[in-house]
Amino acid sequence: MTSRTTPRPSRGALAACAVLAAVTLLALVGPWLAPHSPTEIVGRPYAAPGQGLLGTDQLGRDVLSRVLHGGRGVLLTAAVTTVAGAVLGAAVGLTAALAAVRRPWVDSLVMRPLDALLAIPPLLLLLLFLTAAPGRWSIVAAVVVVSLPLSARVVRAAAGPVTRRAHVEAALARGERLPWLVVRELLPFVAGPLLADAAVRFVLSVYLVAAAGFLGLGTGTADWGVLIADALPGAELQPWALAAPVLLVALLAVAANVLSDDIARRSRALQA
């Protein structure tokens, strides 16, 4: 008898974790490290690095200070929406997968409205929510609504084969209740795909939160989306004001996607 060993994370995944940890730490403690207030005028407009590590923006504000102040709102909002979307998506997807075994009409009743949501562009949904009630919680609600249909579909697809296994059929025959079936019989077998999907949803959350800031409806007056919008007109004069927030958002996206790929790889190896 051979024992199955848990696949180890790849070097790329370990590097991605390090990048995510570094950017997250920078975003969380950044406001305490910033040498100036994000609104303080410290020099002439569009000053090159030297007057501050990254120079100044179009109003003479310190770019480094604004970058350090701008990450916390984006990261915390994206984290909240990712967790909420993953939890709701798992609940809906697992419930639909179980319903498909004996009550297919319930599966259709649950999934078809979510399919309709997929037809609405994410940015349009974001604008609708923010027009109705501007604020951070509207961003959270919009991003969760955008993520929910996709997460539910991924989880339902992963749980479909599991519902035909003997232990699930035995639990159904015993008359176990839905919470038991979802948490004890299905969730352990779809944890890998669920975590991989959550990493992808985190990228989407960061993108939408930054997009809200770019449109002037973000989590603060100096979040990374706002910084990108402010820096675009003068990018030729002060490229660092644009490059710094774009680079941080790109690092988050690439690292989260690499981590998602590795989680999916390890999950497939465990199920093989």
Closest CA to 157 of 199, 113, 185, 189: 189
Q: Is 41 in a helix, a strand, or coil?
A: strand
Report pLDDT for 1: 37
Report pLDDT for 6: 66
Report pLDDT for 182: 82
Under DSSP, the state recorded for 163 is T
The DSSP-derived string for 43-60 is SSTTPPTBSBTT-B-TTS
Cα distances from 124 to residues 120, 201, 208, 219, in angstroms, run 7, 18, 11, 18
Q: Domains in the chain and their CATH numbers?
A: 25-251 (1.10.3720.10)
Mean pLDDT by 10 residues, the chain (272 residues): 63 90 93 91 90 88 93 91 92 88 82 88 89 85 92 90 85 81 84 88 91 80 87 91 93 91 80 60
Question: Residue 21 forms beta bridges with which residues?
Answer: none
Structure tokens at 95: 């419930």
Total-model pTM: 0.85
Report pLDDT for 178: 79
Phi-psi group of 36: left, alpha or beta (phi > 0 → left; psi -120 to 50 → alpha; rest → beta):
beta
Distance from C-alpha of 127 to C-alpha of 95, rounded to nearest angstrom:
30
Report pLDDT for 133: 82
Does the CA dihedral 170-171-175-178 come out positive or negative?
negative
